[in-house]
A and B are shown apart, each in its own frame.
Chain A
Amino acid sequence: MLLILALLAIGTTFSIASATTTAQTTTADRTAQIEEGRQIFLKGCASCHGLNLEGGGIAPSLIGVGAASVDFQVGTGRMPLADMSAQAMRKAPLYDATETAALAAYVASTAPGPKVPSDSVLNYERDGSTAAGGELFRNNCAMCHNFAGQGGALSQGKYAPTLMGVDPKYIYEAMITGPQSMPVFSDKTITPAEKLSIIKWIKTAEKEPNLGGASLGRVGPVTEGLLGWILGLGLLIGVAVWLAMKAR
């Protein structure tokens, strides 16, 4: 009994001690990180988003968008924009992970907003359910992102991007921040556990083998019809011409 008490006392003391040390380093680190983020922001982002994140004619205000939004936009390479086309597209990120984290910390320091989900939150293998995820996906995501997560067209050159090969963290951040044309999916209407189920379903769909031959982009009847008309009908026409030709 005494032993257990002693162990408990040691354990508690240790955890408190370690907690305070991390907190202390974090405070100092965070100030430096926020300052670094501010410098990056002033150089790379302020020309469009304004010196005080207030936004402008071509760029939205970043006040209150949260670290998750910055992490999504910069981490997937969507920001900084390559050009002023209809939509920012996924590309190789310009800033590395440390710089992205610094930028996120700076933007988050100005006003509260959605946080970057930690790895422990994102354990979709453990906390998600593929079946529930499929139902949620069909109801909330499939109309824009296609029934197999392949993406699809919106209006005026905008589009819903494919979800194949996207980091679970970015899928999660997109749902809580609603980047670009995408709406926000609140934690109360789609709970964090349900969001993980959606991610688990997407990851399952990603691994789905092509048992029926070529997937043709998994976009349904459009490519299938195109292939049928061009290849199938072409073959039939060729055979018909050959049939009617007189042998020499």
Chain B
Amino acid sequence: MSNEIEAIKDPGLPAHIHRKADHDPAAANRAERQVAILFGISALGTLLLIVSYIFVPQDLFFFIPVMGNQNAHQLGLGLGMAISLFFIGMGAIHWAKTLMPDTEVVAQRHEFRSPDADRKEFVDAVKSGATASGLGRRSLIKKSLGAALGLSALSPLLLLRDLGPSPKQDFQKTSWKSGTYLVTDPGNRRIKAADLEVGAVAQVLPEIADPEHRKLSDIGKDAVLLIRLRPQEFNLTPTKMAMTHDGIIAFSKICSHMGCAVALYEQQTKHLLCPCHQSTFDVTRGAKVIFGPAARPLPQLNISVDGEGYLVAREPFSEPVGPSFWERNSQ
């Protein structure tokens, strides 16, 4: 038939090219010396490690052009170990490549199935074992073993409990309440509106009764950045403008994208940058996102001053701070 495919002829193995060391004793001796030198370098590396560990003082520093000031003790340890391990490997490879036999060897595959005699012997052994254990007769053991095994298999399910407890309203709420004073972080001092010059920023937290034991999980939600601009520099809706005080505007410091601390404030451009993914917020327009992956502006805190001029929150955040989560209303 004309369309029958002609089988490709097995080309067989290519002719083996022998190495120099295989037929030239001088080359073989040279290869042997090379391997010995590589192992010798490794031994020197180990010696360097030992000497550095015992004799080099830990406070000795010296200058290396590109690397700068280096600690001699640590450098000796690291370099010594690297040399000792690397050159053992290198020597072994060189040995195998130049001196060990490198001719191709044919190894035939065998059938995986065990001989019938072996298979029969195995089945017999299992059967006689089962009879000897008496599982069929002793139902008490059978049932209790079943219960024990079943229970132990169930136990990993317990770990599912660690998925909880449910955070409930924790993501929705922060510690800011109506009338909470703004305090410096760190320092926990109340701040007067007059204390901030135009162009100034301050990292603030809500005042709590026991600032020594402020929870990290609370700081992660409550952190706020205060920025003072000239009031005429703002370009805000009347509602948002009413939430500022005399040019002082307060934003949640938690990025609405992934929750990093947004605090790179460029005083000249009035831009706030998030260091993680370069989301950029325009402070004059209520932290509107002008660049980057953030989807929402940073929540703004409604602030005012009390009778003595101390800055105080007028109400809690009107929306959850930080990144999106399932239950969050994205509006």
Q: Give me the interface of A with B, judged by CB distance under 8 Å.
A: 132, 135-136, 139-140, 143-144, 152, 154-156, 158, 160, 178, 180-191, 194, 209-215, 242-243, 246-248
Residues of chain A within 8 A (CB-CB) of B200 are: 178, 183-186, 189
Instruction: Scan B261-280; emit 1 where CB is below 8 A from any A CB, else 0.
Output: 10111111101010100101
A213-B93 CB under 8 A given contacts A132-B186, A155-B266, A247-B19: no
Contact A189 B269 (CB under 8 A): no
- Closest approach, in angstroms, between the C-beta of A200 and any C-beta of chain B? 15
Contact A184 B199 (CB under 8 A): yes
Residues of chain B within 8 A (CB-CB) of A144 are: 264
Chain B minimum-CB-distance residue to A144 = B264
Residue B180, interface by CB 8 Å:
no
Residues of chain A within 8 A (CB-CB) of B191 are: 188-189
User: Which listed residue, A182, A186, A213, A243, touches B197 by the CB 8 Å rule?
Assistant: A186
Contact A155 B184 (CB under 8 A): no
- Closest approach, in angstroms, between the C-beta of B9 and any C-beta of chain A? 26
Q: In chain B between 193 and 249, which residues have their CB closer than 8 angstroms to a CB of chain A? A: 195-203, 227
Number of chain B residues whose Cβ lies closer than 8 Å to a Cβ of chain A: 49
Q: Which residue among B186, B191, B197 has the maximum number of chain A CB atoms within 10 Å of its CB? A: B197
A185-B201 CB under 8 A given contacts A154-B266, A155-B271, A210-B68: yes
Chain A minimum-CB-distance residue to B17 = A246
User: Which listed residue, B263, B267, B269, touches A143 by the CB 8 Å rule?
Assistant: B263
User: Which of B71-79, B126-134, B143-151, B313-321 participates in binding chain A?
Assistant: B71-79
- Closest approach, in angstroms, between the C-beta of A90 and any C-beta of chain B? 17
Residues of chain B within 8 A (CB-CB) of A188 are: 189, 191-192, 195-196
Contact B68 A214 (CB under 8 A): yes
- CA gap between A209 and B68 in the complex, in Å: 10
- CA gap between A212 and B203 in the complex, in Å: 33
Contact B69 A210 (CB under 8 A): yes
Between A and B, 5 residue pairs with Cβ closer than 8 Å are A154-B273, A181-B267, A183-B200, A183-B227, A209-B71
Contact B197 A189 (CB under 8 A): no
Instruction: Scan B60-90; emit 1 where CB is below 8 A from any A CB, else 0.
Output: 0100001111110011001000000000000
Residue B98, interface by CB 8 Å:
yes
Q: Which residue among B71, B184, B189, B271 has the maximum number of chain A CB atoms within 10 Å of its CB? A: B184
Contact A154 B203 (CB under 8 A): no
Residue B97, interface by CB 8 Å:
yes
Chain A minimum-CB-distance residue to B97 = A247
Contact A213 B74 (CB under 8 A): yes
A181-B19 CB under 8 A given contacts A139-B186, A212-B74: no
- CA gap between A203 and B47 in the complex, in Å: 38
Contact B196 A189 (CB under 8 A): yes
Contact B68 A181 (CB under 8 A): no
Residues of chain A within 8 A (CB-CB) of B70 are: 210, 213-214
- CA gap between A92 and B207 in the complex, in Å: 46
- Closest approach, in angstroms, between the C-beta of B286 and any C-beta of chain A? 18
Not counting A188-B192, A189-B184, a sample of 9 additional A-B residue pairs whose C-beta atoms are within 8 angstroms of each other reads A139-B185, A181-B269, A183-B227, A183-B265, A186-B197, A190-B202, A210-B69, A213-B75, A248-B20
- CA gap between A178 and B268 in the complex, in Å: 10
Residues of chain B within 8 A (CB-CB) of A185 are: 200-202
Contact B19 A189 (CB under 8 A): no
Residues of chain A within 8 A (CB-CB) of B67 are: 210, 213-214
Q: In chain B between 118 and 164, which residues have their CB closer than 8 angstroms to a CB of chain A? A: none
Q: Which residue among A135, A180, A186, A191 has the maximum number of chain B CB atoms within 10 Å of its CB? A: A186
- CA gap between A64 and B269 in the complex, in Å: 20
Chain B minimum-CB-distance residue to A242 = B93
The 4 closest A-B pairs by CB, nearest first: A188-B195, A184-B200, A189-B202, A214-B67
User: Which listed residue, A132, A182, A186, A210, touches B267 by the CB 8 Å rule?
Assistant: A182
Residues of chain A within 8 A (CB-CB) of B263 are: 143
- CA gap between A246 and B104 in the complex, in Å: 13
Q: Which residue among A178, A210, A247 has the maximum number of chain B CB atoms within 10 Å of its CB? A: A247
User: Which listed residue, B17, B197, B268, touches A181 by the CB 8 Å rule?
Assistant: B268
- CA gap between A155 and B199 in the complex, in Å: 18
Residue B115, interface by CB 8 Å:
no
- CA gap between A180 and B61 in the complex, in Å: 38
Contact B273 A155 (CB under 8 A): yes
Residue B101, interface by CB 8 Å:
no
Residues of chain B within 8 A (CB-CB) of A152 are: 275
